[in-house]
Amino acid sequence: MNLFSRKKGAVKGSADADRDTSHFSLPPPNLLLGISPQATKPNEDVESALIKRLESNGHGKCDACGVTINGDMRHSLSSRGNWYNVCSMCYYPTHLDKIPFYDEGNIIYFPNMSQARLNAFLRGLWVVQFFANTDPENEEMRDVAETLSDLERTLEHVVKVTVNIAKAPSDTGIYASTLHLLQDHEYAQRHKYFGGFRWLPSKDMYEKEIPFWAQNDYKNLHYEQMASNITKFMEEYTPSFRIKE
Ligand SMILES: [Zn+2]
């Protein structure tokens, strides 16, 4: 699985859409930060049609970031008139007020990367850490995990909206409250003012999912591929960083 981008063929009407990504024939969903009162709710027909899109074993892919999800991990997301099955990392940014209050993560200003790519990157990072912990003999994986800890700190230092700018203790809740205050027409235009903001989820919220993702999406991914993806990420976003040789 590619950690960084959707597969080719994701564009609507693309002639070379992969057979196994046929559900990606829709344009990618928009994961602009939002709140649930403004979101379109699925009716029963929509829900059952989306559940049917999952495979017979109840598994499927997140239509935004491509990770494997099962029925319990699936959320329904409406975007630009289409319906999607998405993972919770892709659902919560668009429903900030639904994030469990005990672990709401942070809002960061990070226009360089889409929310879906940020989610896929973070997940890759967490899975490598998981592999390194479950297989301590694997020195190569441990090295990659150590390097990733540096990356985690880099992301931790990205400017946070309320903590750094408004000097407030919490972040996601205040951002969601601000969205609540907007008039409908302002909310519809929020990409103009808030387009560069992303939700930075907390790893603790995904303790249960990480082993599932490791098993389903990353098991056969060689650590060198992960390292090369990480290097690409860092070259693009933090030019002074070099992965450990
Ligand atoms: Zn997703």
Percentage of the chain with pLDDT > 70?
Answer: 75
* Within-domain flag for 143: yes
Instruction: Output the CA 96–ligand 1 centroid distance in Å.
Output: 15
Does residue 119 contact residue 66 with C-beta atoms inside 8 Å?
Answer: no
Is the confidence at residue 121, as pLDDT, over 60? yes
Task: Give residue-wise pLDDT tens across range 125-147.
Answer: 898 889 888 888 888 888 888 87
Task: Give residue-wise pLDDT tens across range 13-59.
Answer: 333 333 344 445 778 898 999 999 999 999 999 999 999 999 888 89
* Within-domain flag for 217: yes
Check residues 191 and 147 and name the one with the higher pLDDT: 191
Instruction: Output the CA 84–ligand 1 centroid distance in Å.
Output: 10
> What's the pLDDT at 237?
55
Instruction: Output the CA 64–ligand 1 centroid distance in Å.
Output: 5
Residues with CB in 5 Å of ion ligand 1? 62, 64-65, 87, 90
Tell me how many domains the chain contains. 1
Dihedral (Cα; 8, 10, 13, 19), 10-degree rounding: 70
Instruction: Output the CA 145–ligand 1 centroid distance in Å.
Output: 22
Does residue 21 contact residue 11 with C-beta atoms inside 8 Å?
Answer: no
What is the domain extent for residue 160?
104-237
* Within-domain flag for 184: yes
Does residue 233 contact residue 5 with C-beta atoms inside 8 Å?
Answer: no
User: Residue 215's CB: how many other CB atoms inside 10 A?
Assistant: 12
* Within-domain flag for 161: yes
Instruction: Output the CA 100–ligand 1 centroid distance in Å.
Output: 17
* Within-domain flag for 72: no
Instruction: Output the CA 92–ligand 1 centroid distance in Å.
Output: 10
Nearest to 91 by CA among 209, 10, 7: 209
> What's the pLDDT at 90?
94
Instruction: Output the CA 46–ligand 1 centroid distance in Å.
Output: 19
> What's the pLDDT at 9?
38
* Within-domain flag for 43: no
